[in-house]
Structure 1
Amino acid sequence: MLDTYDLVVLGSGTAAQVASSRARAADWTVAVVDHRPFGGTCALRGCDPKKMLVSGEEAVDAVRRMRGHGVEGDVRIAWPDLMAFKRSFTGPVPGKQEQRYREQGIDAFHGLARFTGPDTVTVDGRELKARHVLIATGARPVTLSITGEEHVATSDDFLELEALPARVVFIGGGYIAAEFSHLAARAGAKATVLQRGARMLPGFDPDLVGWLMERFDDLGIDVRTSTTVQRVEATDRGYLVHAVAGGREQTVAANLIVHSAGRVPDLEALDLVAGGIVLEGGRLKLNEFLQSVSNPRVYAAGDAAGSGPPLTPVSSHDAKVAAANLIKGNHAKPDYRGVPSVAFTVPPITTVGLGEAEARERGLKFRVKSEKVPQWFTARRLAERIYGFKTLVEEDTGHILGAHLVGPHADEVINLFGLAIRHGLTAADLKETMFAYPTGASDIGYMI
């Protein structure tokens, strides 16, 4: 006998939670399936626990910057205690989420799901029949395809370290490498970043990344760009990472190697062929409504869909779109305008909207204002020398096309630029706004 549902959701993260809740509120019968603890990447293995650890890093950095400016003494990161602080948040999440499902009348299954037909999935030998399926399984680290890859830890592993090793090597130069190398260096480890590309943080403005790299230097982080890792070798003292840069071989010793070379939709275990679900370029082939083009019973949301930026707010947005289309028929389309992105280095670097190169490629007419401004009060009061911005304003309309910030409070201020982009506010609108002073937001008028 089959267990039959209106909707079976694969995954239990942000997208899964939003969509399952909305379907249940519409009186649908709903099941969720996940082989990992309920809660998803953001709450358990990503944004939230990472930011908990960054809190300790921020405190240490603040004291060090203010030394000689009225603050005395030394501080350090107590790694086990910081991890315990993180677990005070992540530990209860799976149980709380499972309780929410029970309270909502959603059936929750622990196990690895795979399709057995266009409208059936199996979970540990139990078959579920679904009128619709939502794929919300998140993302996984991209395969490195190097010898010794089995010795490379994931960001998940890093977030569960009981003790921080003395030497940490990061393969890749994106968010994970930038954020975790800052944390590791401030906690006392020797951090090395091996990045295949010509610079770190390729999704952010190159000028601002250049300013931020001064902090990498301050922390003693060894950043090697245009460097390709070829293999990892285990030794009796740890590991050796073998790489090539400029035609020359180099070797880096490590006690821990962390994968930070990007992620892809986590779809491999689902047996999509059995479900009649087509991939294109390793991603689900979806229409504009986040619906599978080959199996109309199936929708996708979040990182698994790969439709928008791989960010938690996008997962929530996708889930609302997918749920609306499931419940009322296809009519809603995702809208990714004005979604900010932040790398939580200390200080943070942010971006929203178009980059300068992209705006020029589109042939848009715009004015650019860009400056490194450590002399501004926002930076001076914190003894922070890394503070700068770049904004793009369309000539004819005055609309904000893009904004890029690095420095204190950038992770909060960027949201106001995102608001402007999404809702069509102009530079004049922002200039006329009376922000509380002195705050990071009160600098906006001078940035445009």
Structure 2
Amino acid sequence: MQTVDVIVIGTGSAGVSAAEAAREAGKSVAIIDKQPFGGTCSQRGCDPKKVLVGVAEISARSSWMTGKGIDKQPKISWADLMAFKRTFTEPIPDRTVEKFKDEGLKQFHGVATFILADTIRVNDKEIKGKQIVIASGNKPMTLGIPGEELLIDSTGFLDLDELPDEIVLVGGGYIAFEFANVAMRAGAKVTIINDTPRPLGGFDPDLVDLLVKTMEDAGITILVNAAVSGISGKPGKLTVEYKQDGKTQSVKAGLAVHAAGRAPDIDELALDVAGVTVGKKGVVVNDYMQSVSNPAVYACGDVAEKGLPLTPMASYEGKIVGTNLVEGNTTKYEQQPVPTTVYAIPPMASVGLTEAKAKEQGKKVKVIFKDAVSWYTSKRINEPAAGSKILIDSKTDEIVGAHLLGEGSDEVINIFAVAMAHKITASDLTKTIYAYPTRSSDISYMLKE
């Protein structure tokens, strides 16, 4: 049996941040992953997804400008796109292994399982750690429907060698909306099946409605109040059954994609052996990102029941854990504005409270909604939808929520995040001089009552 100061399970942003902090302080560190080293975001998540979205955006903007200076619509070559994407993803595991070697991290590739409260088994090896960090990320949640094994997950979609002619996306979250736009622009017929009245729960409903209409107008079918009840057939020839308005209906597809949410990847860890309490969203931790039931265990990233499952939050939480491993519990998790984006076409971004949440909390806010499709920045690219909804505290003039739809929303939302984090008022934002004409220069108009 080997003994180290710190064991880290997971090699994504959260795990690496914690492991490197501990190693830099002179601690011996073992790092474990059952997946190729380097984490989800860089290999199977946000980074490769954005490569695909980038090409789809070029296709979309060309279609918007057809007859307005563009004569021919570009055709996406899926094979070439996949080859380009792999130039980003394929080098990561080997590069990560070399990086860990240079840093002096002891590497173990395999499934980690607790056999004692302070001991992990990986393959045929046992490792004892004074402190253990769980940063194993998440995985597609179990849907409990017949034929579920016929679904592919987001990892599979991002590595398809060929794109089928007809695709069904089960679920109506950000993954479904992002993949739907990519697949449709690449030539597939796409159907989203969502079991709630409105997809993209948690985002502003008025902007969601604008986005849904835009995607439907572009040729994507979006079914709501439709619960998938089963999948049958074989890969390439599938039938997806769903119930809507009390009737069982079906749609044919060459491919069905699981886009109905993710859950903490903890099933193989045997956390009960370690006495680690788990909640609905993951490992239950205190403000120091420490397990509430086993003080030797910390958790960070998507597997921890704390912040949003986003890469920047994983890095943030991993750094907190790293500091607390080295210094003792000196650094707490602090609530802060966290911007998030749905990379649909056009993109939709959000930070802070929605209008509904503000009402729930009893906040008195000014709500300024703007349909911006006729504004210069949208009209010059013939964008089919754009808008904003800004929530301003009636007493302090501080922004408590910002919700954007349209090209550039994924960048402009960061300005609102900075304003909220540093209590810059709406009046100050309005007075700021911006480069013009840019999406950021529209902020003054977004805030105008």
Corresponding position of 2:36: 37
Residue deviations 1:16-69 (CA, integer Å, cap 9, x gap): 111111111111111110011011110011000000011110111121111111
Distance in 1 between the 2:107 and 2:280 partners?
31
Residue deviations 1:280-304 (CA, integer Å, cap 9, x gap): 3362121221111111000000001
CA contact (8 A) 1:314 1:336 kept: no
Distance in 1 between the 2:351 and 2:88 partners?
29
Distance in 1 between the 2:130 and 2:235 partners?
55
Corresponding position of 1:353: 352
Distance in 1 between the 2:72 and 2:147 partners?
44
Residue 306 of structure 1: how far off its partner (Å): 2.9
**Corresponding letter in the other structure for 1:206:** P
Matches within 5 A, 1:290-439: 290-439=289-438
Distance in 1 between the 2:235 and 2:169 partners?
20
**Corresponding letter in the other structure for 1:219:** A
CA contact (8 A) 1:151 1:257 kept: yes
Corresponding position of 1:276: 275
Residue 380 of structure 1: how far off its partner (Å): 1.2
Matches within 5 A, 1:81-100: 81-100=80-99
Distance in 1 between the 2:280 and 2:57 partners?
40
CA contact (8 A) 1:117 1:276 kept: no
**Corresponding letter in the other structure for 2:109:** H
Distance in 2 between the 1:121 and 1:276 partners?
13
Corresponding position of 1:248: 247
Distance in 1 between the 2:216 and 2:343 partners?
17
Corresponding position of 1:218: 217
Residue deviations 1:213-268 (CA, integer Å, cap 9, x gap): 12211221111100111111115961111110110110111111100000011100
Residue deviations 1:106-153 (CA, integer Å, cap 9, x gap): 111111111111111011010111011110000011100001111111
CA RMSD of aligned residues (A): 1.1
CA contact (8 A) 1:231 1:242 kept: yes
Residue 353 of structure 1: how far off its partner (Å): 0.1
Note closer, same or farther for the CA distance 1:236–1:362 as it changes in structure 2 (3 Å cut). closer
Distance in 2 between the 1:104 and 1:429 partners?
45
Q: Which moved more, 1:227-236 or 1:285-294?
A: 227-236
- Whether 2:50 is the aligned partner of 1:47: answer no
**Corresponding letter in the other structure for 2:39:** G
**Corresponding letter in the other structure for 1:102:** K
Corresponding position of 2:161: 162
Residue 336 of structure 1: how far off its partner (Å): 3.5
- Whether 2:127 is the aligned partner of 1:116: answer no
Distance in 2 between the 1:434 and 1:38 partners?
45
Residue deviations 1:194-227 (CA, integer Å, cap 9, x gap): 1011111112100000111122112211111001
Note closer, same or farther for the CA distance 1:158–1:123 as it changes in structure 2 (3 Å cut). same
The alignment of Structure 1 onto Structure 2 pairs a total of residues equal to 447
Corresponding position of 1:182: 181
Note closer, same or farther for the CA distance 1:282–1:315 as it changes in structure 2 (3 Å cut). closer
Residue deviations 1:365-405 (CA, integer Å, cap 9, x gap): 11010011111111011111311000000011111100000
Distance in 2 between the 1:74 and 1:147 partners?
40
Q: Which moved more, 1:381-390 or 1:272-281?
A: 272-281
Distance in 1 between the 2:221 and 2:280 partners?
34
Distance in 1 between the 2:108 and 2:435 partners?
48
- Whether 2:13 is the aligned partner of 1:5: answer no
Q: Which moved more, 1:124-133 or 1:235-244?
A: 235-244
Residue deviations 1:293-339 (CA, integer Å, cap 9, x gap): 11100000000113111100000010111111111111322224210
**Corresponding letter in the other structure for 1:111:** G
Corresponding position of 1:127: 126
Equivalent residue of 1:85, what SS?
Answer: helix
User: What stretches of structure 1 move > 6 A for 4+ residues in a row?
Assistant: none
Equivalent residue of 1:270, what SS?
Answer: coil
**Corresponding letter in the other structure for 2:199:** M
Distance in 1 between the 2:401 and 2:343 partners?
19
CA contact (8 A) 2:289 2:321 kept: yes
Corresponding position of 1:24: 23
Distance in 2 between the 1:200 and 1:103 partners?
46
Unpaired stretches in structure 1, ≥5 consecutive residues:
none
Residue 276 of structure 1: how far off its partner (Å): 1.6
CA contact (8 A) 2:193 2:228 kept: yes
Residue 354 of structure 1: how far off its partner (Å): 0.2
Distance in 2 between the 1:98 and 1:249 partners?
50
Distance in 1 between the 2:320 and 2:133 partners?
12
Distance in 1 between the 2:29 and 2:431 partners?
48
Q: TM-score, normalised by structure 2?
A: 0.98
**Corresponding letter in the other structure for 1:164:** L
Distance in 1 between the 2:35 and 2:317 partners?
22
Percent identity of the aligned residues?
Answer: 43
Equivalent residue of 2:268, what SS?
Answer: helix
Corresponding position of 2:76: 77
CA contact (8 A) 1:340 1:414 kept: yes
Distance in 2 between the 1:11 and 1:114 partners?
13
